[in-house]
Amino acid sequence: MTPTLAGRIQTRLALLGTVGVVWTAIIGLVLGRPYRALFTALLIVAVVGIAWEVLYHAVQQFRWEKDWPTLLGLVVAVPEGIATWLLLKAGIPWDVGEVPAGTFLTMFVTVWLLVWAIANGPLQIVALRWRYRGGRFLGGW
């Protein structure tokens, strides 16, 4: 992918707000419906993710191709997952009670893989111009 900063943020919010919400609702059924915790985690990934995207964009500046290789889109799940877990445990933005690590991990990893897979191709079926606009949905050409 060759995202711009605006494109990164828009894509993250759009995919988490659609695919992420639907999938979290579905996987929540399997995990015993700890929805308060799961959707808080999703919110953290979305909101704190904006800061992560600024960091990734900065890292991208050191790549000649100004691209974001597919593999990096997977690798960054590790620090983001850890940060999200720590925030959740610290009660930020609010206390969600006890969350088993396995529950969080199942939700986080499946959401991440799904969003990553969709962003790496199938999204273009819905949004034909998205890849040329650096991942932006809004703001014209």
Pick one of 28, 40, 112, 133: the residue that binds another protein (CB under 8 A).
133
119 binding another protein? (CB under 8 A): no
Helix/strand/coil (H/E/C) assignment for every residue in 73-131: HHHCHHHHHHHHHHHHHCCCCCCCCCCCHHHHHHHHHHHHHHHHHHHCCCHHHHCCCCC
Q: Which is nearer to another protein, 24 or 60 (CB)?
A: 60
Which one of the spans 20-28, 85-93, 102-110, 117-125 is the region binding another protein (CB under 8 A)? 117-125
Piece of 25-33, 86-94, 96-104, 123-131 that binds another protein (CB under 8 A): 123-131
Task: Evaluate whether 34 touches 105 at the Cβ level (below 8 Å).
Answer: no
**For residue 3, what are its two tokens?**
């995202």
Nearest to another protein of 32, 140 (CB atom): 140
